Amino acid sequence: MPSIQILPEHLRNVIAAGEVIERPASVVKELIENAIDAGSRNITVEILYGGKKLIKVSDDGCGMDRDDALLSIERYATSKISKIEDLFKLKTLGFRGEALASIAAVSRLTIETGIDTSLPGTLIEIAGGEIESIRDAPPLKGTIVTVRDLFFNTPARRKFLRANSTELNHVIETVISEALADFKLGFKLFADNTELLFLPSVYEPRERITQVFGMESIEHMDEFEHEFDDMTIHAFISRPPELRAKKTNQYIFVNQRPVRDPVITKAVYDGLSGILPEGKHPLFVIYLKINPSKVDFNVHPTKREIRFSDSSSVYEFVRNAVENACVKKLKVIQFEASGSSDRFHEPISASGPIYAYNTTDSAHGLFERASCYETSLPSERDIIFLGEIFIIMFQKDGLLIMDKHAAHERVLYERYLKGEVIPKRLLFPKQVRLQPALYRSILDNKEILNEMGLEIEDFGSGTVIVRTLPEFYDENSLQSILDDIGSVLKTSAEGMDSEEEIFDKKKALAASLACHKSIRGRDFLNIEEVKTLYSELLKASDPYHCPHGRPTLIKITLNELLKMFGRL
Ligand code: ADP
Ligand code: MG
């Protein structure tokens, strides 16, 4: 066995960088958080080539003198904690003292910083962890950190970076999340010299959320505050129709720190149970404040994950607050809206009652009167509705069960792919404001969307104008339709557009659009519609699965039944 050696400082920093700095967005996060900790009021982020070429973060915070600036790039160098106990009363976002050292180890880094506009500042240049020069800079109060050629000396890392557009999307997401954390700070983001975000300081979280999500969304969000013991929650949660097919735009802040936390997320979903349709996701922004001694932020080098000392009380607190604020309120609204009408008493759950079931026939009797085969259409008396989802069709040799939503999704999906949708021109073209990444991906794919019945044009400043919609769609859900297809396009934005990639993109879009319409699905179908649906389904390229791969039709043959009952 070779003898053991202590790794040299530089190698240690490269290894540490592996954990802290995954991609340009991680650099942006660390630099913004340093700027926030430095008491800045305004933070500007500039990016070139998705951050691969350049990331520059400028702040107007306290700045550093020369000695501190030199120390800041050392590992375990921090001004934020000095003893163990400090870890349990953290007021700053940083505390591990490794971000700048890690960034310095894997890039060409310049720090320009100063503590007063009447004194010369300091400029330090470092490449791959080696200091190249230290000199005076023009006077300034604040700090400008420039990171060029990220991972230039760690090619294996560089290979993991994705397309510029994808990296940029992560950067946008990071800036948005930091901006939501503190509404009093002003943020700007420029990418390739274009302004993507301009978020001046505002007076309350609601205004910041409006800046980020737009008016449409905030109008459909419930806002509430609640306090218990030493915890407070201030939350914004969207209600129908402002729901999404994916978990996008869900932000959690614990003591102003953006985190991912399964406990809080689950508490929100559980709190909404009963009013959240299956497969739908709310947008939310949750600000939780908790005594810092009851939460451990030092769980992961990126500080995104946390651990509560008593997670079940946090869960209960959040769930109850959400339930009280959203569910109970919604029930009151529903009741008022429906008065004494029967609508209110309709079953809500998917496993509703059996609407029609012939209980007098024996199993064999049922099959004897069955008259259709898979390829021929069932007649009225051979069709029954089971709950809100299933349609059972009797056939000579068994039972055919159709999931009507999955079937509908498959049929719509094929229509989209074949360009067979009929666009409906809106009487008044509608403007929709989108987040920067979604805005870009939607405009980049205008032609494909047009083929699918959505005629969209650029209206400038993050807004698009929609002129046509595929038939069946409700123009009031435009915001959520565009958000969903925008995120689909964003995730399939990798690489260049080969024919195969365009087809994949179309498939993903068709699935998303199909899902949008059919999932709403408590729509009642009559027998004629069931027959049409079934016959269209049989014509599909794969009649047996929805675009997401779930079954549309399941057959239980008479033989299988006989086996189940021990008769074969
Ligand atoms: P940490 O944030 O965990 O302390 P960093 O490596 O990110 O570690 O930064 C090291 C130190 O450099 C910080 O503790 C802070 O004192 C100083 N520093 C970093 N960025 C800035 C900035 N933008 N303005 C002022 N001081 C900064
Ligand atoms: Mg830091």
| Radius of gyration (C-alpha) of the chain in whole angstroms | 29
The Cα–Cα gap between 198 and 190 comes to 9
Ligand nearest to the CA of 79: 1
Ligand nearest to the CA of 98: 1
Question: Which one is predicted more confidently, 456 or 548?
Answer: 456
Amino acid at 13: N
**Cβ atoms of residues 458 and 464 within 8 Å:** yes
| Cα–ligand 2 centroid distance for 30 (angstroms) | 5
Protein residue whose Cα sits closest to atom 19 of ligand 1: 34
| Cα–ligand 1 centroid distance for 551 (angstroms) | 54
Please give the number of the atom of ligand 1 that sits closest to the Cα of 95. Answer: 3
Q: Which residues line ligand 1 (CB under 6 A)?
A: 30, 34-35, 38, 59, 61-64, 72, 77-80, 94-101, 143
Say whether pLDDT at 59 is over 60.
Answer: yes
The Cα–Cα gap between 543 and 413 comes to 11
Q: Which two tokens stand for residue 138?
A: 């023009």
Ligand nearest to the CA of 81: 1
Give the contacts of 33 (CB within 8 A, at least 6 positions apart).
93, 94, 99, 178
**Pick from 132, 138, 77: nearest CA to 110:** 132
Please give the number of the atom of ligand 1 that sits closest to the Cα of 77. Answer: 10
**Cβ atoms of residues 264 and 252 within 8 Å:** yes
| Cα–ligand 1 centroid distance for 144 (angstroms) | 12
Please give the number of the atom of ligand 1 that sits closest to the Cα of 61. Answer: 24
Give the range among 135-149, 187-201, 361-375 with minimum mean pLDDT: 361-375
pLDDT digits (tens, 9 = 90+) for 206-230: 999 988 888 778 888 999 999 998 9
Strand, helix or coil at 254?
Answer: strand
Say whether pLDDT at 344 is over 50.
Answer: no
Say whether pLDDT at 349 is over 70.
Answer: no
CB count within 10 Å of CB 219 equals 10
| Cα–ligand 2 centroid distance for 81 (angstroms) | 12
**Pick from 107, 20, 124: nearest CA to 70:** 124
Ramachandran class of 465: left when φ > 0, alpha when ψ lies in -120 to 50, beta otherwise: beta
| Cα–ligand 1 centroid distance for 70 (angstroms) | 11
Which of the listed residues 41, 67, 100 should we mutate to test ligand 1's pocket, taking the one with most ligand atoms within 8 A of CB? 100
Give the range among 122-131, 168-177, 398-407 with minimum mean pLDDT: 398-407
Say whether pLDDT at 408 is over 60.
Answer: yes
Which of the listed residues 78, 87, 113 should we mutate to test ligand 1's pocket, taking the one with most ligand atoms within 8 A of CB? 78
**Pick from 208, 204, 218: nearest CA to 187:** 208
DSSP 325: I
E strand map for 347-397: 383-386, 390-395
Say whether pLDDT at 521 is over 70.
Answer: no
**Cβ atoms of residues 222 and 276 within 8 Å:** no
Q: Which residues of 443-458 are buried (b: 16+ CB within 10 A; e: fewer)?
A: bebeebbebbbbbbee
Which pLDDT does position 263 carry in this prediction?
96
Question: Which one is predicted more confidently, 477 or 59?
Answer: 59
Say whether pLDDT at 376 is over 80.
Answer: no
The Cα–Cα gap between 480 and 245 comes to 8
The Cα–Cα gap between 111 and 93 comes to 20
Ligand nearest to the CA of 97: 1
Q: Which helix (H) or strand (E) holds 141?
A: strand 140-148
What would the DSSP string read from start to end of 503-564? Answer: HHHHHHHHHHHHHHHHTT------HHHHHHHHHHHHHSSSTTB-TTS-BSEEEEEHHHHHHH
Bond from prior residue into 8 cis (ω within 30 degrees of 0):
no
Q: Which helix (H) or strand (E) holds 471?
A: none
**Pick from 307, 280, 279: nearest CA to 293:** 307
| Cα–ligand 2 centroid distance for 170 (angstroms) | 19
| Cα–ligand 1 centroid distance for 306 (angstroms) | 21
Which of the listed residues 34, 106, 141 should we mutate to test ligand 1's pocket, taking the one with most ligand atoms within 8 A of CB? 34
| Cα–ligand 1 centroid distance for 206 (angstroms) | 30
Give the range among 44-53, 110-119, 329-338 with minimum mean pLDDT: 329-338
Which pLDDT does position 343 carry in this prediction?
31
CA atoms within 13 A on the CB side of 216: 20
| Cα–ligand 1 centroid distance for 321 (angstroms) | 36
Please give the number of the atom of ligand 1 that sits closest to the Cα of 102. Answer: 6
Mean pLDDT of the chain: 85
Ligand nearest to the CA of 58: 1
Across the range 475-503, mean pLDDT stands at 79
The Cα–Cα gap between 253 and 289 comes to 8
Residue 35 to residues 38, 42, 70: CA-CA distances in angstroms? 5, 9, 17
Question: Which one is predicted more confidently, 327 or 87?
Answer: 87
User: What confidence tier does 276 reach under pLDDT thresholds 50, 70, 90?
Assistant: confident
Say whether pLDDT at 64 is over 60.
Answer: yes
Ligand nearest to the CA of 76: 1
**Cβ atoms of residues 75 and 97 within 8 Å:** yes
Beta bridge partners of 235: 224, 286
Protein residue whose Cα sits closest to atom 16 of ligand 1: 79
| Cα–ligand 1 centroid distance for 309 (angstroms) | 28
- Identity of the highest mean pLDDT range in 190-204, 322-336, 522-536: 190-204
Across the range 5-30, mean pLDDT stands at 89
Question: Which one is predicted more confidently, 149 or 363?
Answer: 149
Protein residue whose Cα sits closest to atom 8 of ligand 1: 97
E strand map for 363-511: 383-386, 390-395, 398-403, 423-433, 455-458, 463-470
Which pLDDT does position 346 carry in this prediction?
30
**Cβ atoms of residues 487 and 247 within 8 Å:** no
* Strand arrangement, sheet containing 455-458: 423-433, 463-470, 455-458
Which pLDDT does position 515 carry in this prediction?
78
| Cα–ligand 2 centroid distance for 39 (angstroms) | 13
Say whether pLDDT at 348 is over 70.
Answer: no
User: What confidence tier does 246 reach under pLDDT thresholds 50, 70, 90?
Assistant: confident
Say whether pLDDT at 274 is over 90.
Answer: no
Q: What proportion of the chain, given as a percentage, has pLDDT over 90?
A: 43
Q: Which two tokens stand for residue 123?
A: 């400029």
Which of the listed residues 72, 82, 257 should we mutate to test ligand 1's pocket, taking the one with most ligand atoms within 8 A of CB? 72
